[in-house]
Amino acid sequence: MIDISKLVEGIELTELDMKVLNYIIENIDTVLQQGVRDVAKENYTSPATVIRLAKKMGYTGFVDLYYNLLPLVKNVDSPKETDSNDFFKINQQDFFQYNTLEDIDTCIKQAFQLNKKYIFIYAAGFSAIAAEYLHKKCLLLGKKAILATPSDSVGLLENNMEDIGVFFAISKSGETQSVINKINSAKEHGIFVVSFTKETKNRVASLSDLNFRIEDSHKLDDRNMLPNTFFPRLLLFFEFILKKHLDDSRHTK
């Protein structure tokens, strides 16, 4: 199930650009062998159009575009996680395939050792469910935290900038424009940004001071219609961070 809406969000593409991009995705197994000229020919356009498309999307060229699309598309075509008997098995080491203890320690220092500052948590869509969970966990630990989604007033962030110590952004796709806008606002005020996204390249991750990557088994299923352990893994990762914070606090007493 392929949905490229988040893949191209925030990028000004023409109708022809979208046609070429869809062609590349639908023919991901053969386009590299075809090359730029044949891809252009199949879409009744020029090789320059294909190269411009790649550059509009932030890549150096056609080959760079191909190799960044490949893990997204092939993952959709071969949903191994949904067919596996190990679907519900999540190992602690899974968290360290993309993340480090050093980054977790940095997160704890930035978020849970604040001097009367707020943790601001922002997310949209399905990610807002995980954000609400994290918000409640923070409150139970006695931390000052604010939860916001796109339906909340813009002033919720702007009016509290001076009291925010860290900004938590949660976005499975890493391409949600409202999340990106809020991150930019936070960074303009010098607020440390921690994000939780899928493991592949995305704009939210690139904008963040610290990014935690969680494996997303269906990276182009933006509507979350397919079985996916991204959010269960994310919640367990939250618990791991909070457990380490509590363990560290006990050892320092």
pLDDT, residue 1, reads 52
User: Is-contact 206 160, C-beta < 8 A?
Assistant: no
Residues 6+ apart with CB under 8 A from 242: 137, 141
Mapping DSSP to helix (H, G, I), strand (E, B) and coil, where does residue 229 land?
A: coil
Q: Is the pLDDT of residue 219 over 50?
A: yes
pLDDT, residue 84, reads 53
Residues 6+ apart with CB under 8 A from 46: 40
In this predicted model, what pLDDT tens digit does every residue of 27-62 receive, in sequence order? 999 999 999 999 999 999 999 999 999 999 889 999
pTM of the predicted model, to two decimals? 0.75
Rounded CA separation 94/213 (Å): 10
Residue 87 burial (CB count, 10 A): 14
Tokens of 235: 């919640």
Q: Work out the angle at residue 4's Cα, subtended by the Cα atoms of residues 33 and 120, and round it to the nearest 5 degrees.
A: 130
Rounded CA separation 30/1 (Å): 19
Q: What is the CA radius of gyration of the chain?
A: 20
In this predicted model, what pLDDT tens digit does every residue of 72-128 receive, in sequence order? 787 654 444 445 556 566 777 778 889 999 999 999 999 988 777 899 999 999 999
User: Is-contact 203 178, C-beta < 8 A?
Assistant: no
Rounded CA separation 210/171 (Å): 14
164 alpha carbon, distance to own chain's centre: 22
Q: What is the mean pLDDT of residues 128-144?
A: 95
